[in-house]
Structure 1
Amino acid sequence: MATATVGTARVRYDVEGSGSGPALLLVHGTGSGGAVVNWGQTVPRFTAGRTVVTLDLSGADRTVDDGGPLTVEALAAQVIAVIEDAGTGPVDLLGFSMGSPVSAAVAALRPDLVHRLVLVAGWAYTEGDEYLRNLFTLWQRLGEVDPAGFGRIVTMTGFSRGFLNSIGREGVEALVPNMPPTPGTLRHVALDLSVDIRALLPRITAPTLVVGCAQDATVPVENSRELHAAIVGSSYAEIDAGHVVFFEKEDEFVGTVTGFLGADVTAADLHVLVSA
């Protein structure tokens, strides 16, 4: 484990595997569990012949800062600092959920550090989507007054009905405590409510793949389709899964990402790489 300092934040990150090509940096979504909860199961699928970097953004348990409000730009600065500190740039950058607008901001602000970009279950603008605004407001209020209720709503919206039924009651009950409404998690939720990266999207020049989740009840798939439409030359893939796609359809998720990262194409060719 290494540390990059950005302002008051001491950002913890890990480097695994090795390879001669661009490193893959994975940016986690909402939740103070950070990289371990999101990527702990999936990282080994990417490390064969490749360096993989994971980091914990402010709000995650392993990264310490002043506890103030978070912004997309501040978290993007943390990702940039980790890329520079690790000496792995330019990287293939993958952001999931909250990590998607953060990663998009990195690609827009520091195109020299991003080789390829993958945005999974992401969105560009919360205030203009009444579903997102109300869901994140509900998360915020439940997190403050009903921690058990918070765990159940994030489980219900994080996974598809079919997946929840497939793992049964015992499996579902085991998922409920996975994202407790800690102060760090609620800082992330407050950030989710304020996301607006629309002005940054036209500045993205890296070859980009947007991955939508057809049964996503946290960030409905229309948001991914809109991201794809807003990023010139981007490619789009849609997986029939809920929000946490790398748990529900791990093989398809890994295959989609590695297929894109390994393809020898230019940005102008990406629209024919992956179809919905």
Structure 2
Amino acid sequence: MEAARLVPDDVLPASDGITPAWPGRSVVVDGASIHVRDTPARSAGAEPAVYVHGLGGSSLNWTDLAGLLADYLEGQAIDLPGFGRSDPARSYTVTAFADRVIRWIECSGRGPVHLFGNSLGGAVAVCVAGTRPELLRSLTLVSPAMPFLDPRRSFHGRLLPLLLIPRADWLAARRLAAIDPADLARMVIESCFADPTRIPEQRFAEAVEEARLRYTVPEYTSAYVRTLRSLILSFVRAYLPGSASLWQVARRISTPTLVIGGQRDLLVDVRVAAQVARTIPNSRLLTLQDVGHVAQMEEPRTVARAFLAMLEDSGAVKLLRAGRNGRPGRTRRKSSRQGDITYGGGVTAAGEAAG
């Protein structure tokens, strides 16, 4: 494991307002509909990328990052089965989700791809990378929901008793029906962002609309509860002997990997990102001090710069430098902390997670 590096900010497009949500379409794969949002490339040499969201999220979670990387990547963000606008599934295990991502890459004919995963999507991406390395060019994990056993270190810990109750999905549906979509969106944002005020008004409106959609999808609460239950079971299984452990799968990854963790993550133990980076060979770690669970939404420019540095170091991409389209980049300044660099917004790039 090594500390992640950030490329200069001026290799990214200047901030010109809020990017609208990328257009979506539904594609039938093996008889089930998968909803995908396409981010068109801005250059002829762009390489394919696939973005996988977390538990309760959707393809909307990648709008900003995909837009920033469109000079280098032709992106596709998919809704996992049972979430967003994709059809429900019979199984909601990490392995089942990984199989769907693999089938999407195979059927789209775009592989090998740069694979991104956040939270649950990070665990899914680990499973894909550990079992089908030939489908990947690189792997980027943002607060991956890899196994940890202390429920006190996760906001979801309070839901554990609910998972033991029969018909838990029915009880969750009743609770959901009593919450206004705007309040539900606000609750999700507060649990995922270190600073909820960072979310632009347009993104909040999109989150409210996404929450409203969940009221029209009868299978949503069942998918959420069953996925959370399966994820927790995979956590327990990971510390038992056997090749099915997610940690054992991670050790088999040969793809260049970037791991990003937020030090104010309320959903995944903040020590997990460093453990993932130590476990996966040929990986680098970026720890963001004032960021929560969804760094790709809260600090998309920093995530994009770390990703491009990984590609540049591997010789896979030649970056577009300062002055592209006549737009100067932002400056960076040295931090008073030795070995760290502080960037605009008070974000610190460090090589190790605390604790």
Answer 1 or 2: higher relative contact order, Cα 8 Å, separation at least 6: 2
Contact 1:35 1:55 in 2 (8 A): yes
Aligned to 1:27, which of 37, 47, 52? 52
Distance 1:164 1:83, change over 3 A: same
Shift of 1:188: 3.5
Contact 1:22 1:115 in 2 (8 A): no
Distance 1:58 1:17, change over 3 A: same
The sequence identity of aligned pairs, in percent, is 24
The reply on whether 1:115 has 2:144 as its aligned counterpart is no
For 1:146, give the aligned amino acid.
R
Scaled by the length of structure 2, the TM-score of the pair is: 0.64
Q: Distance in 2 between matches of 1:167 and 1:259?
A: 26
User: How do residues 108-147 of structure 1 correspond to structure 2 at under 5 angstroms?
Assistant: 108-126=130-148, 128-131=149-152, 132=154, 134-137=157-160, 143-147=172-176
Aligned residues: 262
Gaps of 5+ in 1: 267-272
Residues 33-67 of structure 1, C-alpha deviation per residue, up to 9 Å, x if partnerless? 5202x1233321121242111111101232214x4
User: How do residues 1-276 of structure 1 correspond to structure 2 at under 5 angstroms?
Assistant: 1=25, 3-6=27-30, 9-18=32-41, 19-31=44-56, 34-36=58-60, 38-65=61-88, 67-126=89-148, 128-131=149-152, 132=154, 134-137=157-160, 143-147=172-176, 148=179, 153-160=187-194, 163-164=195-196, 177=208, 179=211, 182-183=220-221, 184-196=223-235, 197-240=246-289, 241-264=291-314, 275-276=351-352
2:338 equivalent in structure 1: none
- The higher radius of gyration belongs to 2
Scaled by the length of structure 1, the TM-score of the pair is: 0.80
RMSD: 3.2
Counterpart secondary structure, 1:117: strand
Distance 1:70 1:237, change over 3 A: same
Distance 1:173 1:27, change over 3 A: closer
For 2:121, give the aligned amino acid.
G
Contact 1:101 1:195 in 2 (8 A): no
Gaps of 5+ in 2: 1-24, 236-245, 317-348
Q: Distance in 1 between matches of 2:78 and 2:303?
A: 20
Question: Post-superposition, which runs of at least 4 consecutive aligned residues in structure 1 deviate over 4 A?
Answer: 138-142, 149-153, 165-168, 170-181
